[in-house]
Amino acid sequence: MIMKFYLIAAAITILLSSCLKQSIPDAMLGTSKHTKITATLSYEINGTLINVSVDDADNPTSNFHTLECVKSNSYYYLYAITDFGEFTFDFFTDSLKVGSYSYPINSGGIYVTDFHGPNYVYYPTDKMNFNVTTYEGGHISGIFSGVLTPKPNDIWGAASSVTIKNGSFKNVPIIY
């Protein structure tokens, strides 16, 4: 009878210990082996500095679509929510790699940002260039710049009057 008790106790101990993903001391201290990766995006648009930072970019709860690069059917798009609205860039490729990406000239109006109203690559003098410098562990980093045209109240504004410079992004997670 005592031997049966010890066998059951040992079986329960082994079963419970194999189910735990954290050690008991780590769980009690609230620590985890999960490494938090901070994702950032920053740029200057017409003299205004924009910064987005997500402390735990790989955690969907903390990120909640604040800063990410999403794989769509045939392309990728980088998306960020800033204090001045949204920012987006479409990588027209189905296999994102380290390299340069830009919008084609005369693309017919590709939306980029909501800075004081919607801004597009529209006129031949407009451009948006992204350079992915690293792609590691499901994250991309790099630099970007652009010249855009505003479209407030559904009327095209002055051509190429919105300038984005000193753009950088780091550790932006790729969502498949």
Q: pLDDT tens digits, residue range 114-124?
A: 999 999 999 99
Which tens digits make up the pLDDT trace of 32-90?
566 899 999 999 999 999 999 999 999 877 778 899 999 999 999 999 999 999 999 99
Structure tokens at 166: 């000193």
Q: What pTM value is reported for the model? A: 0.79
Mean pLDDT of 103-112: 86
Among candidate residues 82, 170, 70, the one with its CA nearest the CA of residue 119: 82
133 has pLDDT over 60: yes
* pLDDT tens-digit map of 11-29: 555 544 444 444 454 445 5
State how beta strands 110-113 and 99-102 pair: unpaired
